[in-house]
Structure 1
Amino acid sequence: MSSPNPAGEREKLNSKLPAHLQQSLKVRAAQLQTDMQDAVAAGIRLWQGCTDQLPLVDTAGADSFGTYLPEGLYDAFKEDCRDRGVSYIQGLAQSVALWLAEHPAGVRPVTRRLVVCNQKGGVGKTAVSAGLAQALAEDGQRVLLVDYDAQGHLSHQLGLKAVPAGEESLITHMLHREQARMPLLDLTVAIEGDRFEGRLRILPAAFDAFLLDSGLTVFRGPRHATFERALAPLEEHFDVIVIDSPPSLGLSMDAALYYARQREEEKPGSSGLVIPVEAEDTSAQAYGMLIQQTESLARDYDVVIEQIGLVVNKFDSRRGYIATSSLEKWKSLGTPPVLAVVPDLKEQREAVRTQRPLLEYAPESEQAHQMRKIARAVRTA
């Protein structure tokens, strides 16, 4: 059965689970500083995405087990159990076993790093960054949003001011770490909202970022690693870091792209680039320039920088042939895939005007649903 959870958009799962799996789940979640309910939800999604025949788990003598799942996940899970011909108890046991296998003892998962980028301005990088982060946090992930654009649109849209020039900020930790007086985590701000339950934070923009490229030009040390050096201490506190990038092809963008590279201990598709585009010709030109920069950087440092996917933003079919034909061209690429098509509707603009997160302001809007679609896509990439 499922019942609404008054504390948020979750539903109660009442089932049974073998005692040894309950104990292992409890211990492993504590080791990884993960809520058990988030671990179970992640396990169910792994189970849903698994196409291999899974071994049956011995559920004899299973004890009562209850947790909360994101709204709608329990009903989808029960339907999948029926389609696969297994009991709910067996499906849950397999899901927990999968999560335990994916998170072995003593191994902390690598924090995923998603850089939302396009050197063309006005394509909606900020809206996609914010919406993606909100959807991931709504779904139980601990998420950090980084406003890496000196213009500070992301910070402003969420009711925050950019850090004034001369004050400690991300830029201080990138260029002058020896002068930093406080941990970068202390500079992050929680984004309020019942849907996020304290899991969403933002690192505000810094006005000094206007001078970042010139600062990197004279930086003594590996310039491409400055962004990672600054953010590395934060990774243990978050499951995902989403970066709203500036419309730039400079050294600062090199540092962000390098941060998104696939690490040795990381599965392919875990981290990389999410690229907002529009259904018109200049977006295609800008996309080509970004890919040239990415491929050049990857060759220079012998790394893999994956394109997780494209988001066709602000789409309106009423704009005619240019819009519809451009959308088909984006879809025909195949790789990277189109993760979602976000319509050009008023709710996003209204959320910005009221300085509220879109998923709080209009949680059932089509734009909000498309942001959740992007989040689902990057989880399974």
Structure 2
Amino acid sequence: MKTVAVVNQKGGVGKSATTLNLGAALAEVGRRVLLIDLDPQGHLTKALGLQAAPEHANMAKALLGQWAGELAELVTVYRDNLTVVPTSEDMFLLEPQMYAKTGREYLLSLLLDAMRPAFDYCLIDCPPSLGALTDDALVAARTDAEREGWVLIPVEAEDSSLDALRLLLRQINTLQTVLGIRVPIAGLVANKYDARRGRIATSTLEAYRNHPTLRLLEVIGDRKEVREAWRLHQPVVEHAPNSEAAGWYRNLAKEIEAR
């Protein structure tokens, strides 16, 4: 199983939409995909039209070692080849408890190791912060002799996204140094792009294209099909399979598959 952490501490950049639509594009070509909603706000869970996980059986309990059941009981089958671990209300209280755990950075990774044979890809929708949950997702997306993973960074074509990107790269470098691990970055995906917004949008996109160390994998335009699919709790490739937007997500899936 290859693990992709969809990360950016800046809110509103399209992390959940990227996770959902990339996952659906991979599932469309027969890949067995697990989506994990690690964001306490639960945007991915809501976008799929799912309910939050029950208080007695959820990812938060599993991360803290308070779930004695089978991990398979924590997942919800959404479509063929597309399975989801929804968020739960107690995710809001999880991070302070994680900080008290020894080896807290590896809690999610250990859980995913047990699920590895059942899936081809695991996509993790991260919260808009650089706290313990994001650290765990980054560590779970490491590459070593036993596992393969990457970080995918959704961005918008605006100056504040460039600033957030610099902070995120610093956090990833710190984790790699402190823990002695390798966390590869697959690249960037620019969301909600509209050249009509003027010079800030176009110049920022150009800065992403010319980044010295990161690849811009795909540009997702600001299209009504993406917004419609979100409101209808559907992936774009299902709601508007022949649209330009669906093609962008299929291209992004090909980029991930090619790694």
In structure 2, distance between residues paired with 1:260 and 1:115: 6
Secondary structure of the residue aligned to 1:118 is coil
The corresponding residue for 1:237 is 118
TM-superposition CA deviations, 1:158-214 (whole Å, max 9, x none): 1101124x3211111111x2x32421222211123xxxxx21111111111111210
C-alpha displacement of 1:217: 1.7
Could you tell me how far apart the structure 2 residues matched to 1:320 and 1:299 are?
Answer: 39
The alpha carbon displacement at 1:265 in A equals 4.1
Give, in whole Å, the separation in 2 of the partners of 1:334 and 1:190.
Answer: 40
Within 5 Å, which residues of 2 pair with 1:256-275? Answer: 256-265=137-146, 270-275=148-153
Q: Unmatched 5+ residue regions in structure 1?
A: 1-110, 193-197
Match of 1:122 in 2: 12
CA RMSD of aligned residues (A): 1.2
The CA distance in 1 between the partners of 2:161 and 2:16, in whole Å, is: 16
Q: How many residues align?
A: 259
CA deviations 1:36-58 (Å, max 9, x no partner) are xxxxxxxxxxxxxxxxxxxxxxx
Q: Do the aligned partners of 2:107 and 2:136 also contact (CA within 8 Å) in 1?
A: yes
- Amino acid of the residue matched to residue 131 of structure 1? N
| 8 Å Cα contact 2:38-2:133 kept in structure 1 | no
SS in 1 for 2:87: coil
**CA distance in 2 between partners of 1:187 and 1:303 (Å):** 28
CA offsets 1:71-120 (integer angstroms, 9 cap, x no match): xxxxxxxxxxxxxxxxxxxxxxxxxxxxxxxxxxxxxxxx1000001000
Provide the rounded CA distance (Å) in 1 between the counterparts of 2:14 and 2:108.
Answer: 23
Q: Pick one of 73, 81, 84 that aligns with 1:186.
A: 73
1:272 alignment partner, SS class = strand
Q: Quick one: which of 82, 86, 97 aligns to 1:215?
A: 97
The one-letter code of the counterpart of 1:202 is: V
Computing the radius of gyration from Cα coordinates, the structure with the larger value is: 1
Equivalent position of 2:37 in the other structure: 147
Once residues 154 and 354 of structure 1 are traced to their aligned partners in structure 2, the CA distance between those partners, rounded to angstroms, is: 13
Partners of 1:339 and 1:191 in 2: CA distance: 27
State the match for 2:48 in structure 1. 158
Query: Separation in 2 of the partners of 1:159 and 1:190?
Result: 12
Tell me, which stretches of 5 or more residues in structure 2 are unaligned? none
Note the 1:1-381 alignment, pairs <5 A. 111-164=1-54, 166-175=55-64, 177=65, 179-192=66-79, 198-219=80-101, 221-265=102-146, 270-381=148-259
**Identity of counterpart residues, as a percentage?**
40
Q: Which moved more, 1:144-153 or 1:330-339?
A: 330-339
- What's the TM-score, normalizing by structure 1? 0.66
TM-score of the two chains, using structure 2 as the length reference: 0.97
Q: Which amino acid aligns with 2:156?
A: E
